Structure 1
Amino acid sequence: MTTKRSPEPLLWLLFSSGGMVAAMLVPVLLFLFGVAFPLGWLTAPGHDYLASVVSHPVTLLVLFGLCVLALFHWAHRFRYTLYDGLQLKRYRVPIGILCYGGAIAGSVVVALVLLRAI
């Protein structure tokens, strides 16, 4: 007897991971680079320092993880918004391909952008 395996557990894992990572890191980054540094509350790091930090492999890995998980979080949330909110469950396959394909395409773009930072 074979059982049909569903990708749902993996998709829910990516959804929850993306939500957690985005909730932990994005507000801090927005506060620092959107409020604290521009208003002079904290001394802004110089361009050379930021360039050296961003070119470090660990920083690139963290930024890649943040962006990819946030994209998959968006894809899962948008998919279920279309299913449940707009009642489009009959288009299950095209919506899944659109949402998760967009997240995969965005992940490739993120990888290319971050590789150029090296």
Structure 2
Amino acid sequence: MKRPLKRSNAPIFWALFGAGGMLSALFGPMLVFITGLAIPLGLLLPADTLSYPRVLAFVQHWIGKGFVFAVIALFLWHAAHRIFHSLHDIGIHAGVGAKLVCYGLALVGTVIAGYTLLAIGF
């Protein structure tokens, strides 16, 4: 007699991990270059590219909000999943508590990012 399959929430976390990993691989180096090197050193872009009025206008548009939210949320979930599975490598046998801390912090960061972006207005 076959036993019924046990439901798992692992695919949800793996999907967020994979999406965050892809986004961080594709956009992470570009974001570091633009915000850390190109604009402060005046390379390729004008010095006022990241001025307050321009960035505010970007995050007040729904496309800008979506991009910023996706980057923050998916980077957080990717980091949470990687940290949770790296605990075993450093000798900590992660249980439910570690899972709650890692994924809970990612959830809190995602909610804070969403609330903050909505509070900025459109």
Q: What is the TM-score normalised by the length of structure 2?
A: 0.85
- Count the aligned residue pairs: 116
Residue identity over aligned pairs, in percent, reads: 35
Indicate the residue corresponding to 2:110 in structure 1.
107
1:52-95 C-alpha deviation (Å, 9 max, x unpaired):
12211111011111111111111111111113432414xx1111
Counterparts of 1:52 and 1:78, CA distance in 2: 34
Partner of 1:6: helix, strand, or coil? coil
Structure 1 unmatched ranges of 5 or more? none
Q: What is the TM-score normalised by the length of structure 1?
A: 0.87
Q: How big is the alpha-carbon RMSD for the aligned residues of Structure 1 and Structure 2?
A: 1.6
Counterparts of 2:53 and 2:105, CA distance in 1: 33
What is the deviation of 1:31?
1.1
Partner of 2:7: helix, strand, or coil? coil
What is the deviation of 1:18?
0.6
Indicate the residue corresponding to 1:95 in structure 2.
98
Indicate the residue corresponding to 2:14 in structure 1.
12
